[in-house]
Amino acid sequence: MRDLARELLAGEEAWVVGGAVRDELLGREIRDLDVAYRDPRSAAVAYARRSGGSPFPLSERHGAWRVALDDGRTVDFTPLEGSIQDDLATRDFTVNAIAVPLAGGDAVDPFGGRDDLAVRRLRHVSETVFDDDPLRLLRAGRFVDQFGFHLDGRTEALIREKADLVGLPSGERILAELEPLTVLGFRLLDELGLLGPLGGSVADLRDGDSAAIRLARVFGPRLERFPISNEQRRLLRTLLRAERPSDDSARELYRFRRATEPWALEALEFLGAHELTEAVEDARRRDPAEPLLRGDELGVPPGPEVGRILALIEEERAAGTISTREEALDLVGRERAIGLPTPPPPPPAASEPSSPA
């Protein structure tokens, strides 16, 4: 990524900044490159043309552009409007306020970011850091969680002072910071006073929860206030309405799966019913390839009754009470007989009209 940027911007003032420098100093794989340059749009278009990536404006307000590469990596070009020192002074934390010339050379580190990296300390660049972008409140918690940093004392105090700003960024940006958090990360946000204003609570969090389960536990139905995907919304609603099976019988497992699939295992995790995981996995493996009967073979007019009877057939099959097509047809016959409506009583005979007095 860097070699192509260096070739395209040869002879121009350009700097590698932000997370790419931080991750390189930490010995981490670099997946995203951030280049400060005076004309981000032209650089992004040229980079995309050569790399086969897709360019698009990252921020209309700030003039940043991103090139998305096929393998999931990204290259960002951000505007360099003054000196590189001026640019770094607008960054969030000292560990992100280090720049290296794209062409090669010594790093510029006006705020001591390398010293902070050495001791895993997260320290803010300026006193207005959270007023300038309140999303940085959540980012601080994510960095502590993700990189094993500890908060500088003054930075922690400033986060607590500004905690009421945490809900101001867009839902998309907030969600992007929340999704990678571990249980410890959510507990840190709660301790710093950042989770309550977002409608979250750690009361139901459990060690070992997966990412999807963590979000559901922390926010419950309030998670739908965020711009989650349709699939996330369906998963959330499935988890919230899931009921623990009363036992591990085939019938109970079938009913549980019918209410929760394709997220039956996630629902077990959400309910804390891990002991049923093997039974559900075994039931999945034993799912028949074909139904015993199709809807058009029931002799029932189209409507909700068709679905009810098909579900009944599958439940009885799962429970082991029927196993053949003939047994299924016999069950349908019994259900239809039970469900026949009682004919209404005949109308009363009309009485003879009375004679006038």
CATH number, position 68: 3.30.460.10
Claim to verify: residue 42 and residue 83 sit in the same structural domain: yes
Number of neighbouring beta carbons within 10 Å of residue 317: 20
Q: Is the previous residue joined to 291 through a cis bond, with omega within 30 degrees of 0? A: no
Task: Give whole-number Cα distances, 63 to 86, 96, 267, 279, in Å.
Answer: 16, 19, 44, 54
* pLDDT given for residue 60 in this prediction: 64
Claim to verify: residue 263 and residue 236 sit in the same structural domain: no
In a domain, 310, yes or no: yes
Claim to verify: residue 218 and residue 256 sit in the same structural domain: no
**CA proximity to 181, closest of 160, 209, 154, 150:** 209
Claim to verify: residue 149 and residue 196 sit in the same structural domain: yes
Per the structure, the complete domain to which residue 158 belongs is given by 120-241
In a domain, 346, yes or no: no
- What is the distance between the alpha carbons of residues 219 and 224, in angstroms, rounded to a whole number? 9
Q: Do 158 and 165 touch, CB atoms closer than 8 A?
A: no
In a domain, 348, yes or no: no
Claim to verify: residue 193 and residue 228 sit in the same structural domain: yes
Q: Domain tally for the chain?
A: 4
Claim to verify: residue 81 and residue 130 sit in the same structural domain: no
Claim to verify: residue 231 and residue 131 sit in the same structural domain: yes
Claim to verify: residue 237 and residue 248 sit in the same structural domain: no
Q: Do 218 and 186 touch, CB atoms closer than 8 A?
A: yes
Dihedral sign from CA coordinates of 158, 164, 166, 170:
negative
Instruction: Enumerate the β-bridge partners of residue 59.
Output: 64
* pLDDT given for residue 100 in this prediction: 96
Q: Do 250 and 283 touch, CB atoms closer than 8 A?
A: yes
Claim to verify: residue 162 and residue 213 sit in the same structural domain: yes
- What is the distance between the alpha carbons of residues 141 and 136, in angstroms, rounded to a whole number? 9
310 dihedral zone (left: phi>0; alpha: psi -120 to 50; beta): alpha
- What is the distance between the alpha carbons of residues 265 and 219, in angstroms, rounded to a whole number? 20
Q: List the alpha helices (DSSP H) in the chain.
A: 2-8, 19-25, 40-51, 84-88, 113-118, 129-132, 135-147, 153-161, 171-178, 183-191, 211-219, 230-241, 250-260, 264-271, 277-285, 304-319, 325-339
* pLDDT given for residue 355 in this prediction: 47
In the three-class reduction of DSSP (H, G, I as helix; E, B as strand; rest coil), residue 138 is classed as helix
Claim to verify: residue 273 and residue 309 sit in the same structural domain: no
Claim to verify: residue 269 and residue 307 sit in the same structural domain: no
Choose one of 87, 114, 141: the last residue of a domain.
114
The pLDDT profile of the chain, 357 residues, written as one tens digit per residue, is: 889 999 999 999 999 999 999 999 999 998 899 999 999 999 999 999 999 999 999 876 678 999 999 888 999 999 998 999 999 999 999 999 999 999 999 999 999 999 999 999 999 999 999 999 999 999 999 999 999 999 999 999 999 999 999 999 999 999 999 999 999 999 999 999 999 999 999 999 999 888 889 999 999 999 999 999 999 999 999 999 999 999 999 999 999 999 999 999 999 999 999 999 999 999 999 999 999 999 888 888 888 989 999 999 999 999 999 999 999 999 988 888 776 444 455 555 544 444 444
Q: Do 280 and 264 touch, CB atoms closer than 8 A?
A: yes
In a domain, 354, yes or no: no
In a domain, 290, yes or no: no
* pLDDT given for residue 346 in this prediction: 53
In a domain, 90, yes or no: yes
Claim to verify: residue 88 and residue 144 sit in the same structural domain: no
**CA proximity to 78, closest of 103, 55, 101, 59:** 59
Q: Which two tokens stand for residue 76?
A: 């960002």
Tell me the whole-structure pTM to 2 decimals. Answer: 0.84
* pLDDT given for residue 348 in this prediction: 56
Contact partners, residue 318, CB within 8 Å, separation at least 6: 250, 251, 253, 254, 283
CATH number assigned to the domain comprising residue 212? 1.10.3090.10
In a domain, 43, yes or no: yes
In a domain, 356, yes or no: no
DSSP 119: T
